[in-house]
Structure 1
Amino acid sequence: MGRIFEVRKSTMFARYDRMAKQFSRIGKEIAIAVKKGGADPNTNPMLRRVMQNAKGINMPKDRIEGAIKNALGKDTSNYDEVLYEGYAPHGIAILVVTATDNTTRTVANVRSHFNKAGGTLGNSGSVAFMFKHLGVFKLAPAGLSAEDLELELIDAGLEELGEDSEGNLIVRCEFNDFGNMQKALEERGITPISSELEWIPLNTVAISEEQAEDVFKLIERVEQDDDVQQVFHNMG
């Protein structure tokens, strides 16, 4: 019985850590959005997007409002979005998106994570060319026709429309068309479950399960860093 309890407790803590990481990530995105475009989501589409994502992960309303209020404070940290590029073991390309108030600390930490997990941190441009920077919108399918939506969103820069494993509609557009797509969905009364900027690999690399474990160890190590927002790879 004690062993079962320990397993359940471990799972509970893992969920809590994951939720805490998500809330921290959204909090930084709110701070960046407010600094760039102000605290009014009606006039700040970036903040509007982040608030939608916050609701999508069940972030409490008072916590969202608190993050906006904190971002307006004089003593609030100014975060810079910095992209780091490198290789995991077995030639897998890795992109690390960070939000940091101390780039010296962050690059040192990210390099340490790569080195300790058998990877190599590269220079700017060494890996990013293997990916496409896309806007990705996840939509609840209820009441939506994929065929009609595809035709309606072409002028907004639609590049691809498909489904994920849970049956949600996935809309993708070029990075530069993100704002146009966000506006087009809002004009149709569609509120995305989430909307993100993601790095999608142009091609994937097939490796064995054993080799994949080495890559996941590096990714997990990097993701645990407080400055890291997202990690992308081209592993097949």
Structure 2
Amino acid sequence: MAGHSKFKNIMHRKGAQDKKRSSLFSKLSKEITVAAKMGGPDLDANPRLRLAVQNARSNSMPKDNIQRAINKSQGGDSDNYEEIRYEGFGPAGTAIIVESLTDNRNRAVTEIRTAFSKNGGNLGETGSVSYQFDKVGEIIFEESNVSADDMFEQALEAGADNVESDENTHEITCAMEDLNTVSSALTEAVGEEPKSAKLIWKAQNTIELDLEGATKLMKMLDVLEDLDDVQNVYGNYDIPDDVMEKLGA
């Protein structure tokens, strides 16, 4: 396990994105609907739905919105969303993975390709960059009262592979098949609900960006994350703190 955190700048971006409440709730609702449609509306019997609802609650999504998204999955007129992964290259040679949930494949690929091409990147073929990432479970605790040492010990006991702590934020990673088990065990052990618990694409190695590269990349990521069909965006970039400060993060 690791101790020192290298994800502070990424957490700043997540915080900025969380302020876009309407867009965030829409993406959370879509994931809940898809999860419930695939595995049923029972949280106890549907791990993906349980995580989706947990993430919605941690982002202060109203209970009525959550239930409405679950109910929508059981209706005969519910939208048929398709899960598609897009891969490409961003500014400064960064590798980018985009996860999409869409009811219109043509619209999704057109908008995503445009976001890449107009911001110094290019969309690649499936598999063009994903080999540079590992699919893992990620659990994040924000504004936590648990110390780094205590979280390290509890995460190790729960079966996690890695812990990175930064002030009062903890990022725990585990094998993708262990996400539900580790998340539940940690929640009970530390007495806090995680900010998020989900499967992510974690870069095996990162590319450090200068101000020019970071400016271009952030612009492209903002465009991608604003698209209705885009659920998550991952990259192998690392932005030093001094560069983030110049970006106004």
| TM-score tier after normalising by the smaller chain length | 0.7 to 0.9
Distance 1:162 1:118 in 2: 31
Aligned to 2:23: 21
Aligned to 2:10: none
Distance 1:106 1:151, change over 3 A: same
SS in 2 for 1:73: coil
TM-score where L is the length of structure 2: 0.79
Distance 1:203 1:16 in 2: 26
Q: Larger radius of gyration, structure 1 or 2?
A: 1
Q: How many residues align?
A: 221
Residue deviations 1:82-130 (CA, integer Å, cap 9, x gap): 1111001221111111111222221122112111222110111111111
Q: Is the 8 A contact 2:87 2:130 kept in 1?
A: yes
- Is there any run of 5+ residues in structure 2 with no aligned partner, and where? 1-15, 239-249
Aligned to 1:201: 203
Q: Is residue 184 of structure 2 the alignment partner of residue 192 of structure 1?
A: no
Distance 1:18 1:37, change over 3 A: same
Residue deviations 1:15-49 (CA, integer Å, cap 9, x gap): 89711111011001101110122112122222121
SS in 1 for 2:201: strand
Distance 2:210 2:32 in 1: 39
TM-score where L is the length of structure 1: 0.83
Q: Is the 8 A contact 1:156 1:181 kept in 2?
A: yes
Distance 1:111 1:38, change over 3 A: same
Q: Is the 8 A contact 2:99 2:232 kept in 1?
A: yes
Shift of 1:223: 1.2
Aligned to 1:72: 74
Distance 2:51 2:196 in 1: 8
Identical counterparts, % of pairs: 38
Q: Is the 8 A contact 2:155 2:163 kept in 1?
A: no
Aligned to 1:176: 177
Aligned to 1:31: 33
Aligned to 1:107: 109
Residues 131-142 of structure 1 mapped to structure 2, 5 A cutoff: 131-139=133-141, 141-142=144-145
Distance 1:201 1:48 in 2: 26
Q: Is the 8 A contact 2:179 2:198 kept in 1?
A: no
Shift of 1:145: 6.2
